[in-house]
Amino acid sequence: MRFSYLEPEFLVERNLERCIRCQVCVRQCAFEAHRYDAASDVVTVDSSRCVGCLRCVTMCPTDALIVRQNPTTFKENANWTGRVIKNIYKQAETGGVLLTGMGNDRPYPIYWDHMVLNASQVTNPSIDPLREPMELKTYLGRKPERLDVSVKDGKISLNTKLAPQLELRMPVVFSALSYGAISFNASKALASAAYEFGTYYNTGEGGLHRDLYRYGERTIVQCASGRFGVHKDYLQAAAAIEIKIGQGAKPGIGGHLPGEKVSREVSRTRMIPEGSDALSPAPHHDIYSIEDLRQLIYALKEATRYEKPVSVKIAAVHNSAAIASGMVRAGADIIALDGIRGGTGAAPTTIRDNVGIPIELAIASVDQRLREEGIRHQASILAAGGFRSSSDVIKAIALGADAVYIGTSALVAMGCHLCQICYTGKCNWGIATQDPYLEKRLNPEIAKERLMNLLRAWEHEIKEMLGGMGINAIESLRGNRLHLRGVGLTDSELEILGILPAGR
């Protein structure tokens, strides 16, 4: 290989007084940054191989390792930053598209951090969720125009036929993470955690592994442009079906699973040859219009006897509101919106970092548009793209979402350190890999417990915040933007979000 102009991104520092040469770091680094020199009985480091996943630091039994950002800087330049220069070096060396994993890491405004919640004081009582009932149960799916109820001999019966609904213990769902992009153990952890907790997980476009069919009633299966793994049993096993049009991390392009990650099991599940790149087309070639979308929605509904809600997922883009309106009219029961900070296993960096709009603005504009058109009840809004905490979730509900998809938060709960190299298939945490040696590092039992703990923690926090606002059911907060105020936002941002500035 030719000499590279790239400096190491990280420096790995070893405290030799603490190092016991046990070589755990050597064995745990799939990038071979650590090596043991038996002749001198020392462990050496090649910092240029370090990706900053911190596996070695976490596993080192004597805390002998520190990984730091390389402090070396280029000459200060506001336009030609180190990041820009390094990207040019990389491309000059490889001639390729820059790839990355995880969500957008550029400093776009995070509107969640510019919105504050209300709380009851004096004139209305707040509620203590530890002493009084608090309802977080959420139903996703088409709601009826009106309820036709008849009373006979004092018995009330419902005459309206309800559309199929997904019942969530709280408004958080694990978002689409395909088997292939993530390991079987990671998929199993998500599936079993959703199943035990009482929410749902999404297969992404990776198909459904035969060992995961038993979690079917808590599974949302995806039908994406590549149609990988889509067949009769797959559709029938699920609780809901999602047509994936777009993804927040890469609006306008299809998924890409590198051949290195297409193991025998992935190939069986996706129904593609082993080792071949799984390239999803950018569009669905049978969907070039809302009318075409309607055909696929109804084909799927027909195939599953109208027993399952059908979701349509799009990346949040400039005209999401108009598109969402069309999607609802085409028969979508759930509108999934994925914002610019949405994650991925592999995407061109330039697309991830520059295409799409923040999810906060998309939720507000879509909710507003559907309400204005009087069709908001016909579909639930499932928002995705960088939800980091219970407060992000509750703010999204107040803005108008019905529930929230979490992907990155779930991965972090399982151990992800956001080093953004998922596309290499060498995830040292056993999450984004198909390497049998690395995959074992994720114990699905531990991961399941961690996921459930995260959901429980958020559930408690959401109840506390709701109680503080004097609300005892999440339904009463949905789209209730009076409980939000903006801090440090422009007039047009406030107008799009449909909220007042703090102090007013």
Partner 1 sequence: MKRVYAKEEVCAGCRLCEIWCVVAHSKTKDIIKAFNEEFPRPLPRVQVEEFGSFSFALQCRHCNEPPCIEACMTGAMHREAPDGPVLHDADKCVGCWMCIMVCPYGAIARDETLKKIASKCDLCYGEEEPACVAHCPNEALVFEDRGE
Residues that bind partner 1 (CB under 8 A): 17-18, 20-24, 27-28, 59, 61-62, 185, 430, 435-437, 440-446
Amino acid occupying residue 443: N
Nearer to partner 1, 207 or 444 (CB): 444
Q: Which string of b and e fits 402-436 if b means at least 16 CB within 10 Å?
A: bbbbbbbbbbbbbbbbbbbbbbbbbbbbbbbbbbe
Distance CA 167, CA 165 (A): 6
Q: Is 110 exposed, middle or buried (0-12, 13-18, 19+ CB in 10 A)?
A: middle
Work out the number of other CB atoms within 10 angstroms of the CB of residue 25: 24
CB of 346 vs partner 1, minimal distance in Å: 23
CB of 107 vs partner 1, minimal distance in Å: 34
Nearer to partner 1, 238 or 431 (CB): 431
CB of 65 vs partner 1, minimal distance in Å: 14
Nearer to partner 1, 54 or 170 (CB): 54
CB of 24 vs partner 1, minimal distance in Å: 5
Nearer to partner 1, 23 or 47 (CB): 23
Distance CA 423, CA 421 (A): 5
Distance CA 145, CA 135 (A): 23
Distance CA 238, CA 303 (A): 12
CB of 239 vs partner 1, minimal distance in Å: 28
Nearer to partner 1, 179 or 200 (CB): 179
Pull the structure tokens for residue 81.
Answer: 């930053």
CB of 181 vs partner 1, minimal distance in Å: 20
CB of 384 vs partner 1, minimal distance in Å: 30
Sign, CA dihedral 430-434-437-442, equals: positive
For the chain, what is the largest distance between any 2 Cα atoms, rounded to a whole number of angstroms?
Answer: 91
Nearer to partner 1, 74 or 437 (CB): 437
Nearer to partner 1, 17 or 76 (CB): 17
CB of 451 vs partner 1, minimal distance in Å: 16
CB of 395 vs partner 1, minimal distance in Å: 36
Tokens 């906060």 locate to 360
Nearer to partner 1, 13 or 445 (CB): 445
Nearer to partner 1, 127 or 438 (CB): 438
153 phi/psi in degrees, rounded to 5: 50, 40
CB of 185 vs partner 1, minimal distance in Å: 8
Please give the DSSP secondary-structure letter assigned to residue 53. -
Tokens 């603490």 locate to 18
Nearer to partner 1, 112 or 429 (CB): 429
Distance CA 216, CA 234 (A): 9
CB of 42 vs partner 1, minimal distance in Å: 12
CB of 43 vs partner 1, minimal distance in Å: 12
User: Are the C-beta atoms of 221 and 235 separated by less than 8 Å?
Assistant: yes
Distance CA 398, CA 134 (A): 16
Percent of the chain that is helix, strand, coil (3-state, to 5): 35, 20, 45
Distance CA 329, CA 378 (A): 9
Nearer to partner 1, 13 or 495 (CB): 13
Nearer to partner 1, 27 or 318 (CB): 27
CB of 102 vs partner 1, minimal distance in Å: 23
Give the bridge partners for 385, in sequence order. Answer: none
Residue 500, SS3 per DSSP? strand
Query: What's the Cα-to-Cα distance from 164 to each of 53, 296, 308, 336, rounded to whole Å?
Result: 42, 18, 6, 17
Q: How many CA atoms lie within 13 A of 169 on its CB side?
A: 17
Distance CA 448, CA 194 (A): 9
Distance CA 207, CA 180 (A): 9
Nearest to 234 by CA among 199, 193, 204, 255: 204
Distance CA 355, CA 335 (A): 20
Nearer to partner 1, 35 or 86 (CB): 35
